[in-house]
């Protein structure tokens, strides 16, 4: 395949999916990953896409993210998030080594944490402040700050996580689907979530009922690899794939 043909194919796929990974493009175009990276650099310099760690996103994606800012999302499904957060906080025990993902549901979850004898790690800037204000032993992983989600992401975040072995991690998600798994919008955020799951003995996904049967561009984990804590499960098939805890007020 000629260079301009690969470029057109990459842009066409991005138009359909909003984000793609280097490995995905390599398989899709039958080209080496080094070739794909060169293509992404060229297209990024031309302003045709946004190159990120591990792949690329559409130039139109920022508009989607701006709509879904932390301020807007923090006002959605408050009752459900509080119920989920309260239950999740009760699963923390003395000497736990905890990783907490950035996000609105995990932020509410922190409000209910009481255990002073666990150690907490997070990639959320606001999350870290809340944990410290509650007097908890808190560490922040390194990385590049993404303003719209107030999360630390990128290569430095991944390198930070590789050093640790967590007893539990608590993550948010944008979508849950039986085939696609747990999905989100941003490649770099997805990579951090994937690494957190990999480095945790048990991983919990905190998600209200609106996240089910939703698919976003990037998968960060298989449903079978994590437990789900939710307020309501309308599709019982999910409980056949993994452990699902329904909690109510």
For residue 184, the domain's CATH number is 3.40.50.1360
Residue 215, CB-side half-sphere exposure with 13 Å CA sphere = 9
CA-based nearest residue to 156, from 48, 53, 47: 53
Dist. CA 112–CA 131, nearest whole Å? 11
- Single out the residue in 11, 30, 59 at which a domain terminates: 59
**Is 66 contained in some domain?**
no
Query: Residue 40 sits in which domain range?
Result: 3-59
Q: 88: which residues sit within 8 A by CB, 6+ positions away?
A: 109, 112, 170, 204, 206, 229
Predicted confidence at residue 48, as pLDDT, reads 86
Domain shared by 39 and 104, yes or no:
no
Give the mean model confidence (pLDDT) for residues 187-205: 96
% of the chain beyond a pLDDT of 90: 65
Domain shared by 91 and 113, yes or no:
yes
Give the mean model confidence (pLDDT) for residues 54-66: 64
Are 119 and 98 in contact by the 8 Å Cβ rule? The answer is: yes
Are 178 and 238 in contact by the 8 Å Cβ rule? The answer is: yes
The single residue listed with the structure tokens 């793609």 is: 20
- Considering the entire predicted model, what is its pTM? 0.76
pLDDT tens-digit series, residues 111-160:
999 999 999 999 999 999 999 999 999 999 999 988 777 899 999 999 99
Q: Check residues 22 and 106 and name the one with the higher pLDDT.
A: 106
Burial 203-216 (b: 16+ CB within 10 A, else e): bbbbbbbebbeeeb
For residue 66, pLDDT beyond 50: no
Encoded tokens for 242: 């993994």
Domain shared by 163 and 198, yes or no:
yes
pLDDT tens-digit series, residues 167-179:
999 999 999 999 9
Burial 229-239 (b: 16+ CB within 10 A, else e): bbbeeeeeebe
For residue 20, pLDDT beyond 70: yes
Domain shared by 118 and 33, yes or no:
no
Domain shared by 81 and 199, yes or no:
yes
Domain shared by 101 and 27, yes or no:
no
Strands (E), the chain: 19-21, 49-52, 55-58, 97-100, 119-122, 137-140, 144-146, 151-153, 166-171, 175-177, 181-184, 200-206, 218-221, 227-230, 244-246
Domain shared by 43 and 160, yes or no:
no
Predicted confidence at residue 146, as pLDDT, reads 86
Are 182 and 221 in contact by the 8 Å Cβ rule? The answer is: yes
Predicted confidence at residue 63, as pLDDT, reads 45
Q: Average model confidence (pLDDT) for the chain?
A: 89
Predicted confidence at residue 56, as pLDDT, reads 83
Domain shared by 45 and 81, yes or no:
no
Domain shared by 12 and 103, yes or no:
no
Are 81 and 108 in contact by the 8 Å Cβ rule? The answer is: yes
Q: Check residues 110 and 148 and name the one with the higher pLDDT.
A: 110
Predicted confidence at residue 2, as pLDDT, reads 82
Domain shared by 104 and 144, yes or no:
yes
- Most confident range, picked from 28-37, 208-217, 224-233: 224-233
What's the total number of domains in the chain?
2
Q: Check residues 18 and 207 and name the one with the higher pLDDT.
A: 207
At residue 147, the 3 state secondary structure works out as: coil
Encoded tokens for 208: 């209200």
Predicted confidence at residue 67, as pLDDT, reads 42
The model's confidence at residue 72, banded by pLDDT at 50, 70 and 90, is low
Domain shared by 53 and 80, yes or no:
no
For residue 1, pLDDT beyond 60: yes
Residue 58, CB-side half-sphere exposure with 13 Å CA sphere = 17
- Single out the residue in 12, 28, 59 at which a domain terminates: 59
CATH of the domain at 16: 1.10.10.10
Domain shared by 81 and 182, yes or no:
yes
**Is 37 contained in some domain?**
yes
- Single out the residue in 29, 59, 89 at which a domain terminates: 59
Encoded tokens for 30: 């039958």
The model's confidence at residue 249, banded by pLDDT at 50, 70 and 90, is low
């Amino acid at each position: 395949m000629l260079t301009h043909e690969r470029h057109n194919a990459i842009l066409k796929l991005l138009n359909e999916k909003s984000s793609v990974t280097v490995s995905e493009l390599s398989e899709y175009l039958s080209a080496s990953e080094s070739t794909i990276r060169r293509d992404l650099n060229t297209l990024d310099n031309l302003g045709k896409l946004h190159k990120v760690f591990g792949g690329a996103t559409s130039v139109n994606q920022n508009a989607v993210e701006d709509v879904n800012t932390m301020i807007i999302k923090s006002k959605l499904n408050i009752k459900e998030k509080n119920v989920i957060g309260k239950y999740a906080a009760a699963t923390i025990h003395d000497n736990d080594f905890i990783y907490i993902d950035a996000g609105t549901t995990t932020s509410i979850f922190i409000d209910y944490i009481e255990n002073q004898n666990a150690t907490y790690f997070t990639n959320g800037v606001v999350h870290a402040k809340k944990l410290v204000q509650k007097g908890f032993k808190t560490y922040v992983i390194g990385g590049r700050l993404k303003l719209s989600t107030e999360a630390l992401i990128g290569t430095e975040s991944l390198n930070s996580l590789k050093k640790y072995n967590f007893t539990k991690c608590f993550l948010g998600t944008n979508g849950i689907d039986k085939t696609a798994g747990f999905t989100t919008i941003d490649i770099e955020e997805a990579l951090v979530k994937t690494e957190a799951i990999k480095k945790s003995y048990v991983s919990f996904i905190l998600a209200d009922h609106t996240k089910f049967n939703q698919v976003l561009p990037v998968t960060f984990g298989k449903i079978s690899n994590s437990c789900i804590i939710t307020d309501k499960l309308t599709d019982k098939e999910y409980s056949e794939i993994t452990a699902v805890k329904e909690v109510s007020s």
